[in-house]
Amino acid sequence: MKRIAILGSSGGNLFNLGGKDPEKLMSEIISQCKGANVEIAAVQFIAAVESMDVAKDHTAAVLYRWDAGEMRLTKMYEGPLKETNQAAMVLDTEIAGQIQAGQIDGIIVMSADPNQANQQAMIAAVEKRIPVVGTGGTSMALISSKGANVIATSGTTGTTNRTRAVSFMTSLCKYWGIKYHPVLGDTSTQHASVSSNPWRKINLKGIMQASLPGFIAMAIVLAISQIPALKGLSEVFDLMLKALPVVLAVIAAKQISDLDEVSIVAGVIAGTLSINGGIIGGIIGGIGAGLLVQYLFVKCVQWRFPMTTVNIVAGGFAGLISGLIMYYLIAPFALQAGELMKYLINEAISFNPIVAGVVAGLLIWPAILGGVYHAAILPIVLLEMEKTGNSFLGAVDMVGLVMVSAGITLANIIAPRDKGEAAVATPGFLINMGFGTFVEAAYPFMFSNKMVFAGAILAGGVGGGLVGVFNVRGTAYVPSFMGPLLSNNVMGFTIAMAVALLLSLVITLVANKAVRNKKNLEPTTQVEQSA
């Protein structure tokens, strides 16, 4: 196993690009080291409370070192910068001894000071000819001039904690001939994904769910624009409608490559050029940008491009290439595919909206319980909202799921089977009514009583039928009192919501009473049998 030392400071320009949060900065390097099976042998990092460009001797600072026993970053000294630098020199001598003893195989440098705080370590690194990678224009120039074996260097402009860490580890592993795949995703958990196969990270359901706030914001603008005094907001709605593909593209690009701002920039560029393809175009453009970001980033690092250039190529070119392909080749077909799906949905609804509502209402609970809702129904809701700002199935969602769940939980607050169930039901009811989500709150009561389960499906079917009767278009995921205001039929949506809630409430009350009566009869029956 190769062992490295990490030397440097929060820097000048680096301070504004991650250096002011040293623990987060170091966590990215630690994650990449774990992904490459490289051990951290030593750390000497000076973190000041302001940029080193303006820091003074009295500026507060912290010296971090590596605790090899606990395998974590620890604070060695806190005090004025001048004294912190002096403490760092002591640690510098210790690390130099490790290098001389052959216990360190490579060095990562970030805005280091080879003339003072890191002088001894750099002298030892030059003598041992161990590879050095790093950022910081001035410090890397000085290190190179002293004869260090610098295998990759760059300024900090345009870099992020993650892109720097990936670049460092890619360069070192290539030098050593070690196989390495960048660790991406949430590096604070054990669920970080490895980029060996980015195609596996394409998750349409995740893209749709993450983009939902954008659609809800659009629906709110649409509703407000119906107020006579605020008619001018209709232009804002049209603008937001065009922005939806950008939102989806950014989410898709970041989901796949997860290289922080680089992914976001690529997604914005690809999404902007995918607007003519609608939300389907935005998703395809974002996926393409995400795949290209990761490929171009790794290739540019392997070709030893400076990190600033790596980020420009990966973020700019990936978004541009994917976006231009969408703009000239795919966007028209993506738009037609979306329009065809919306046409088929509208035709089915217009053929018999009541039947469509009843069927949707009856199936929506089995769909969410079977894991089909987010994979099939939510995309249809978003496709509908793309055109009108609200949705038929969105209204069924609010009525058949949210209101039914609210009715079930309310019944268990009013007259629960057991006293303890009221405490369980109360938070679920409040979230259902206050936020238009968390229908899972009804699960414990549905799964433990077949009558409640059947009542939920029945209430969903009746509520869905009323959505069809009033030809309502609406949305869930908003407070219940706002639901009707965001729909095309305030009174009709209100009636459908109220009926679904009351029906599920009454059925659950009856079911709970039957259970309580059964429990009350059991002791009497046992006494009679004993007699």
Question: What band does 524 get if pLDDT is binned at 50, 70 and 90?
Answer: low
Residue 57 has pLDDT above 80, yes or no: yes
- Average pLDDT in the chain: 87
Token code pair at residue 227: 């107020």
Does residue 418 lie in a domain region?
yes
Question: What band does 374 get if pLDDT is binned at 50, 70 and 90?
Answer: low
Q: Are residues 407 and 487 in the same domain?
A: yes
Residue 527 has pLDDT above 60, yes or no: no
Sign for the pseudo-dihedral over CA of 409, 410, 416, 422: positive
Estimate to the nearest angstrom the gap between the alpha carbon of 269 and the chain centroid: 19
Does residue 346 lie in a domain region?
no
Q: Are residues 236 and 356 in the same domain?
A: no
Q: Are residues 25 and 172 in the same domain?
A: yes
Q: Are residues 240 and 114 in the same domain?
A: no
Token code pair at residue 39: 């051990």
Q: Are residues 279 and 376 in the same domain?
A: no
Q: Are residues 245 and 364 in the same domain?
A: no
Q: Are residues 466 and 507 in the same domain?
A: yes
Q: Are residues 336 and 385 in the same domain?
A: no
* Final residue of a structural domain among 273, 306, 341: 341
Selected residue with higher pLDDT from 494 and 185 = 494
Does residue 167 lie in a domain region?
yes
Q: Structural domain of residue 77, as residue ranges? A: 3-194
Question: What band does 42 get if pLDDT is binned at 50, 70 and 90?
Answer: very high
Helix (H, G, I), strand (E, B) or coil at 151: strand
Q: What is the CATH number of the domain that holds 156?
A: 3.40.50
Question: What band does 152 get if pLDDT is binned at 50, 70 and 90?
Answer: confident
Kindly state the greatest CA–CA separation across the chain.
102
Does residue 347 lie in a domain region?
no
> Average pLDDT, stretch 184-191?
50
Estimate to the nearest angstrom the gap between the alpha carbon of 19 and the chain centroid: 23
Sign for the pseudo-dihedral over CA of 33, 38, 39, 43: negative
* Final residue of a structural domain among 341, 375, 394: 341
Q: Are residues 275 and 129 in the same domain?
A: no
Per-residue pLDDT tens over the stretch 334-356:
888 877 877 777 787 788 889 99
Does residue 436 lie in a domain region?
yes
Gap between the Cα atoms of 512 and 448, Å rounded: 11
Does residue 177 lie in a domain region?
yes
Beta bridge partners of 324: none
Burial degree of 95 (CB within 10 A; 0-12, 13-18, 19+): buried
Minimum mean pLDDT range among 114-128, 304-318, 388-402, 462-476: 304-318
* Final residue of a structural domain among 341, 376, 397: 341
Question: What band does 305 get if pLDDT is binned at 50, 70 and 90?
Answer: confident
Does residue 531 lie in a domain region?
no
Residue 194 has pLDDT above 90, yes or no: no
- Residue 506 is predicted with a pLDDT of 96
* CA nearest neighbour of 355 among 392, 383, 381, 323: 392
Estimate to the nearest angstrom the gap between the alpha carbon of 381 and the chain centroid: 21
Residue 448 neighbours by CB distance under 10 Å: 13
Q: Are residues 383 and 261 in the same domain?
A: no
Does residue 47 lie in a domain region?
yes
Specify the pairing of strand 60-67 against strand 39-48: antiparallel
Q: Are residues 290 and 180 in the same domain?
A: no
Q: What is the dihedral of CA 365, 367, 373, 377, to 10 degrees?
A: -100
Residue 88 has pLDDT above 90, yes or no: yes
Residue 195 has pLDDT above 70, yes or no: no
- Phi/psi of residue 115, nearest 5 degrees: -95, -20
For the entire predicted model, the pTM comes to: 0.71
Q: Give the total number of structural domains in the chain.
A: 3
* CA nearest neighbour of 218 among 431, 34, 384: 384
- Residue 228 is predicted with a pLDDT of 78
Minimum mean pLDDT range among 91-95, 202-206, 487-491: 202-206
> Average pLDDT, stretch 208-232?
80
- Residue 191 is predicted with a pLDDT of 38
Matching residue, tokens 């080193």: 52
Gap between the Cα atoms of 125 and 216, Å rounded: 57
Residue 195 neighbours by CB distance under 10 Å: 22
Q: How many residues does the chain have?
A: 531
Sign for the pseudo-dihedral over CA of 401, 402, 408, 409: positive
- Residue 269 is predicted with a pLDDT of 95
Please name the amino acid found at residue 154: S
Distance between the two ends of the chain, CA-based, in angstroms?
79
Q: Are residues 369 and 499 in the same domain?
A: yes
Question: What band does 522 get if pLDDT is binned at 50, 70 and 90?
Answer: low
Residue 280 to residues 246, 284, 393: CA-CA distances in angstroms?
11, 6, 19
